[in-house]
Amino acid sequence: MSDPSAVFARETSTRPSRASLRTAVVWDVLKDALDRRAEASGKDTLDVLDTGGGSGKFAVPVARLGHRVTVVDPSPNALFALERRVAEAGVADLVTGVQGDIRGLFDVVEREGFDAVLCHGVLEYVDDPAEGVRNAVAALRPSGALSLLAAGLGGAVLARALAGHFSEARHALGDPDGRWGDADPVPRRFTADQLTELAEAAGLEVGAVHGVRVFADLVPGVLVDTEPGALEALLKLEAAAAELPSFHAVATQLHVLGEKRG
Ligand SMILES: C[S@@+](CC[C@H](N)C(=O)[O-])C[C@H]1O[C@@H](n2cnc3c(N)ncnc32)[C@H](O)[C@@H]1O
């Protein structure tokens, strides 16, 4: 895997920042998948769907690669922010925002209309995650790539425990939705096995699973901000740990990449 901080910095035209700790692993895997899809399909410009794409955190860098991106999101505020971000990035001709949700996806986009589909941070919030993944896969052309990112159970348990909230950590461990209590803002979390099973049941050949933010949320921010070279070193550590199944169990997020069975 190439250096994720360098890749993300190049594609987003920024120096590596604390924010890149949240995105670098996923971006590196996603960019690689898009490059491979473009090569396999013989097209420079892919049709990419970002369902629940929000304000375009991934849609904008994907468009900067030259791909056409459709963002479907139910939130008018997110779509407004997307419009602004896309204009500022100079990729307005490549990004279309559409109001809609993953449940009624085919009211607003075409079935089998996309070479790649992103579904990042959405399955936590929908009533029926299996239906969400089925729709994301149904939006793909044969052999298209799905990028699935969702909150990990173990990362939340570890974070609550390290913050001294031991009862909440134990509650999350036993809760069917992986929530640590009524005040938990996240409605649902997943294990790597659960996310993989959802993807496979929807007709996806899972190619890779990565743990995202294994250490980033646990490390004191001041250390990363003030220690020379600490951010770059932490990005490299995250990239190395992301691939190891033993670290998937404690990652804040889990990323599943797969290809639609032909
Ligand atoms: C945590 S944000 C993630 C945004 C973006 N994917 C990212 O990675 O930055 C969750 C997004 O999912 C959207 N969302 C919530 N319910 C949804 C649904 N049923 N279908 C599609 N998107 C949904 C929200 O409006 C929000 O933009």
Q: Where residue 15 sits, what CATH number does that domain have?
A: 3.40.50.150
Check whether residue 166 and residue 143 sit in a common domain: no
Check whether residue 195 and residue 165 sit in a common domain: no
Express each pLDDT in 222-235 by its tens digit.
Answer: 888 888 999 999 99
Express each pLDDT in 178-198 by its tens digit.
Answer: 999 999 999 999 999 999 999
Q: How confident is the model at residue 248 (pLDDT cuts 50, 70, 90)?
A: very high
Mean pLDDT comparison of 19-23, 201-205, 222-226, highest-scoring range: 201-205
Domain that holds residue 164: 153-186
Residue with tokens 């803002």: 185
Check whether residue 36 and residue 74 sit in a common domain: yes
Check whether residue 27 and residue 47 sit in a common domain: yes
Of 231, 246, 256, 253, whose CA–CA distance to 4 is shortest?
231
Of 186, 206, 237, which closes a domain? 186
Express each pLDDT in 82-92 by its tens digit.
Answer: 999 999 999 99
Check whether residue 61 and residue 172 sit in a common domain: no
| Pocket (CB within 6 angstroms of ligand 1) | 51-54, 57-58, 73-75, 78, 101-103, 120-122, 125-126
Q: Beta strand 140-151 with 114-120: parallel, antiparallel or unpaired?
A: parallel
Check whether residue 95 and residue 157 sit in a common domain: no
pTM for this model (two decimals) = 0.93
Check whether residue 20 and residue 32 sit in a common domain: yes
Residue 130's alpha-carbon distances to 176, 200, 202, 225, 236, in angstroms, are: 15, 10, 8, 40, 33
Counting ligand 1 atoms within 8 A of each CB, the residue from 69, 122, 127, 128 with the most, and so the one to mutate, is 122
In total, how many domains does the chain have? 2
**The token pair that represents 150 in the structure block:** 């969702």
**The token pair that represents 89 in the structure block:** 């990035």
Residue 211, strand partner residues: 254
Going by alpha carbons, the residue nearest to atom 25 of ligand 1 is 75
Check whether residue 32 and residue 161 sit in a common domain: no
Q: Where are the beta strands (DSSP E) in the chain?
A: 47-51, 68-73, 95-99, 114-120, 140-151, 204-212, 253-260
